[in-house]
Amino acid sequence: MNLGAEPPSIDSVQATDNISFDVIINLMAGLTQYRSDLSCSPCCAESWDIEDSGKRYVFHLRKNIAWSDGKTLTAHDFEFAWKRLLDPKVGAPYAFFLYDIVGAHEYNTGKLKDANQLGIKVLDDYTLEVRLKKPAAYFIYLTAFSPTVPQRKDVVERYGALWTEPEHIVTNGPFLLKDWQHEYKIELVANPNYFEGKPHLDRIKMFMIPEQSTAFALYQNNELDYIDNRSFPTSDVESLKGSSEYRNFPLLRNYCIGFNIEKKPFDNFKVRRAISMAIDRSVFPRILRRNEKPSDSWIPPALAGYKKSSGQGFDPPKAQALLAEAGYPQGKGFPQVTVLFPAREDAKLVMEAIQDELKRNLNIHIELVSQEWKVYRQALLRDPPPMFRDSWGADYPDAETFMNIFMEGNGNNHTRWHSKRYDQIVQAAEAELDGKKRAALYAQADAFLCREETPIVPTFLASQNLLIKPWVTGISCNPLDIQFLKDVSLNSASTQTTTLDFKSSIARLMTHKQLATSSQTLRSVR
């Protein structure tokens, strides 16, 4: 398989990206794991109790789990990993995921010095207690998230920064790290002592091939058994759709247009709503051609809380009426608006389509400005332009990961919009343990966000495109876009021939011109 790039870190407390998670999740086992329907099922914890109105979690660990060096996994290993994640000296980027735990924020910001005062406590070798500041129904999902897998204190302290190298690392997951040639290849082998049984695959080679056309050529030559978005150019998707090796499914990644509501004319909600109604979202899959799913709600359909009616829909006459009410009849007098987007080919196509839609349906002209990725990100953080392109990918399969962005104080909300009413709804959803009531609250927040206030205009959901050789079975198609490989197997009876059409190989390879925009290509794996 192809990772697309070097994992920045396989130290679970330092990792923040899907490439690293793809490796970690196959090496380590957490308290829980995701089922195919994205619910949490037992993993190292065979059961758990939720007490004190959702503020106390008690995890009961299995007693038969061994680390790769033979030692037994205990609750102390989770306690160590979680406290290390929160240790300010470690500088873990994803420490904030545990801020719901008693004392976590204070400890991570240096206000609390004693880690023993954290709400993480080992009751006995196989029982872990976690106390939260407030009920957080999504908390259980965090226990299946890569940054919360266990770590061995003795190994981390003994080898320091080098503890993740193959000669030192100690793991408890389905595979063992056999070799890591940096910037080139990671090799995993089956863990014969994995508590759920030895995986089907004896060996996995994870290459780090940055260029999509190269990875695709290797797939054609049967040197890769399966590839995903990281490994074939957009232009190929259309021609591959007829292949029996092709799979497609939507991801939990939503793209949107954001407005800085402190800047004119987007301080007027009628303008924002008019723009949302003037965009025909069905255009995006036609121009991007990766089977994107048009979306006008912020919560993706795969998550509880999604409601089809949450968004604005496409309604040009109503959009024109709203724009006229805002003082711009037929677009007259509409100020010059600059729209910022990252300098990537796909973003450019989307923004040009939106520019065209707004000109046609509202008779307004927007100026497109692209910037290199980091410059663009800094512009969003420091001084967001009136209109910009943005996106969000789920960290865990719960609506909370999408909705808390727009709560007051969240650094990922570049719109400058916040609302007490919205915050109250989301806070109520966070505390609600009844699934149906939670979903209804999130749906209410989503409608408030996308239909009433409209600081953002959701546009489409990204999708994952896979090519899987006929002899490979068990590849999981999960919208979180993390590769769980323990159930994958090879069917030796299948012939090793490919059914793909080779006609366009040369044209595909010529797309190496994309190398000129390499930084974006590298980043597109996210």
Q: Does position 93 bind another protein by CB under 8 A?
A: yes
Figure out which of the listed residues 393, 431, 472, 474 binds another protein, where binding follows CB under 8 A: 393
CB of 60 vs another protein, minimal distance in Å: 31
Separation between Cα atoms, residue 326 and residue 333, nearest integer Å: 11
Q: Does position 309 bind another protein by CB under 8 A?
A: no
What's the CA angle centered on 297, arms 295 and 300, to 5 degrees?
75
CB of 288 vs another protein, minimal distance in Å: 18
Separation between Cα atoms, residue 20 and residue 389, nearest integer Å: 26
Q: Does position 11 bind another protein by CB under 8 A?
A: yes
Give the helix ranges, DSSP H, for 13-132: 18-27, 75-86, 104-108
Figure out which of the listed residues 1, 95, 354, 462 binds another protein, where binding follows CB under 8 A: 95
- State the residue for tokens 């061995």: 152
CB of 204 vs another protein, minimal distance in Å: 16
Site size toward another protein (CB under 8 A) is 63
77, 120 Cβ separation under 8 angstroms = no
CB of 172 vs another protein, minimal distance in Å: 20
Residues 6+ apart with CB under 8 A from 212: 230, 231, 232, 233, 511, 514, 521
Q: Does position 103 bind another protein by CB under 8 A?
A: no
* Three-state DSSP class for residue 433: coil
Q: Does position 513 bind another protein by CB under 8 A?
A: yes
What residues pair up with 259 in beta bridges, in sequence order? 387
Which secondary-structure segment (H or E) carries 288?
A: helix 283-288
Q: Which stretch binds another protein (CB under 8 A): 61-69, 86-94, 116-124, 309-317?
A: 86-94
Q: Does position 90 bind another protein by CB under 8 A?
A: yes
Separation between Cα atoms, residue 425 and residue 432, nearest integer Å: 11
Q: Does position 92 bind another protein by CB under 8 A?
A: yes
CB of 286 vs another protein, minimal distance in Å: 26
Nearer to another protein, 43 or 215 (CB): 215
Figure out which of the listed residues 6, 280, 345, 487 binds another protein, where binding follows CB under 8 A: 6
**Tell me, what amino acid is at 406?**
F
Q: Does position 411 bind another protein by CB under 8 A?
A: yes
Residues 6+ apart with CB under 8 A from 47: 59, 60
- Positions in 139-198 near another protein (CB under 8 A): 161-162, 164, 181-184
Q: How many residues does the chain have?
A: 526
Figure out which of the listed residues 246, 249, 269, 373 binds another protein, where binding follows CB under 8 A: 373
Nearer to another protein, 128 or 208 (CB): 208
What's the Cα-to-Cα distance from 66 to each of 17, 354, 406, rounded to whole Å?
A: 27, 54, 42
CB of 210 vs another protein, minimal distance in Å: 6
CB of 416 vs another protein, minimal distance in Å: 14
Residues 6+ apart with CB under 8 A from 321: none
Nearer to another protein, 304 or 379 (CB): 379
What's the Cα-to-Cα distance from 476 to each of 228, 249, 489, rounded to whole Å?
A: 12, 11, 11
301, 251 Cβ separation under 8 angstroms = no
Nearer to another protein, 308 or 513 (CB): 513
What's the CA angle centered on 282, arms 281 and 284, to 5 degrees?
75
Q: Does position 223 bind another protein by CB under 8 A?
A: yes
Nearer to another protein, 493 or 506 (CB): 506
Separation between Cα atoms, residue 487 and residue 485, nearest integer Å: 6
DSSP state of 24: H
Q: Does position 503 bind another protein by CB under 8 A?
A: no
Residues that bind another protein (CB under 8 A): 6, 8-9, 11, 14, 16, 88-93, 95-96, 105, 108-109, 161-162, 164, 181-184, 207-211, 213-215, 217-218, 220-221, 223, 372-375, 377-379, 381, 391-393, 411-412, 502, 505-506, 509-510, 512-513, 515, 518-519, 522-523, 526
